[in-house]
């Protein structure tokens, strides 16, 4: 159950899943697990793109996908030319809603903890990270499966790393009977897209990647629609080509994850 508090700005899309599981097509991907609900915890709008077709696949099969963004991305103008700040954050949150709708996600939550600030003074009372820990712990409830960044944060972004660490801290404190499955997004070694912009991304030994979510061409098409939403972050050619590039390299039909523990 999603709660709205004074410290959590929340907007629910309340979209019905594209497919409710009445009949599974023959070419439907086999899921490693089929939870009823998956909660995705990320740092910024557009963080969902490296796993986008997996979220579309889950939603298509009737899984309730909810996405929480720790920040609104208000410090990342991308290619927009906008000044960092509140207006940029609002635009990027709208882009997140657009992408979530394309993927069939059930809801989006913004915890608005300050883009680029999660790694600052993280041990101090009242720091963005400390407040994220409190708010996220209250908001998460008891989901069956949580997906977040790995400890690498993809390419090392401190916000990404902190979101992963805070989420892990919450989950590891739960007793085994109430502990959700926690999955880290990963790129298998040798599958990094061969573009300069991703040269600094982390890879993971495929032997550790015991979980994957397969997707169909329709799911990939939904991911392309989601990528097109992020107008402030990427130029038109990049938005149009990104998902196809990921499909041909790091995904190859399945988005890869590893279990945190």
Binding positions for Zn ion, rule: CB under 5 A: 43-44, 47
> Least distance in Å: CB of 146 to Zn ion?
17
Closest contact distance (angstroms) between CB of 102 and Zn ion is 18
Residue nearest to Zn ion (CB): 44
Alpha carbon distance 159, 170 (integer Å): 17
204 has which bridge partners? 188
Beta strands, E only, the chain: 9-11, 37-42, 64-69, 107-110, 145-148, 181-185, 211-214, 254-259
Residue 54 CB, nearest distance to Zn ion (Å)? 17
Sheet of strand 107-110, all strands in order from the earlier edge strand to the far edge: 9-11, 107-110, 64-69, 37-42, 145-148, 181-185, 254-259, 211-214
CB of 44 to Zn ion, least distance (A): 4
Query: Cβ closer to Zn ion: 47 or 219?
Result: 47
Shortest Å distance, C-beta 17 to Zn ion? 26
- The CA distance from 243 to 96, in Å, is 16
Name which of 63 and 162 has its Cβ closer to Zn ion.
Answer: 162
Angstrom distances, CA of residue 143 to CA of 2, 112, 207 = 11, 21, 27
Residue 47 or residue 211: which is nearer to Zn ion going by CB? Answer: 47
Q: Cα–Cα distance between 130 and 134 in angstroms, integer?
A: 6
121: its two tokens: 């003074």
| Residue with smaller CB distance to Zn ion, 43 or 93 | 43
Residue closer to Zn ion (CB basis): 139 or 149: 149
């Amino acid at each position: 159950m999603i709660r709205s508090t004074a410290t959590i700005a929340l907007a629910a899309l309340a979209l019905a899943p594209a497919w409710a599981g009445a009949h599974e097509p023959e070419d439907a991907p086999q899921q490693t697990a089929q939870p009823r609900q998956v909660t995705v915890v990320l740092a910024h709008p557009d963080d969902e793109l490296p796993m986008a077709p997996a979220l579309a696949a889950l939603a298509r099969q009737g899984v309730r996908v909810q996405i929480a963004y720790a920040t609104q991305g208000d410090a990342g103008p991308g290619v927009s030319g906008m000044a960092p700040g509140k207006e940029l954050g609002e635009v990027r949150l709208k882009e997140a809603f657009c992408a979530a709708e394309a993927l069939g996600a059930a809801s989006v939550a913004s915890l608005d903890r300050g883009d680029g600030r999660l790694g600052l003074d993280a041990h101090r009372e009242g720091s963005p990270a400390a407040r994220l820990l409190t708010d996220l712990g209250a908001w998460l409830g008891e989901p069956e499966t949580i997906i977040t960044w790995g400890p690498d944060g993809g390419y090392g972004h401190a916000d990404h790393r902190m979101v992963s660490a805070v989420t892990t801290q919450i989950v590891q404190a739960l007793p085994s009977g109430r502990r959700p499955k926690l999955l880290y997004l990963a790129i298998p070694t040798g599958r990094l897209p061969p573009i300069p912009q991703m040269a600094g991304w982390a890879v993971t030994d495929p032997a550790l990647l015991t979980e994957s979510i397969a997707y169909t061409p329709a799911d990939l098409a939904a991911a392309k629609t989601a990528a097109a939403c992020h107008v402030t972050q990427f130029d038109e050619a990049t938005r149009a080509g990104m998902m196809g590039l990921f499909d041909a390299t790091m995904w190859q039909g399945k988005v890869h994850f590893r279990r945190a523990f």
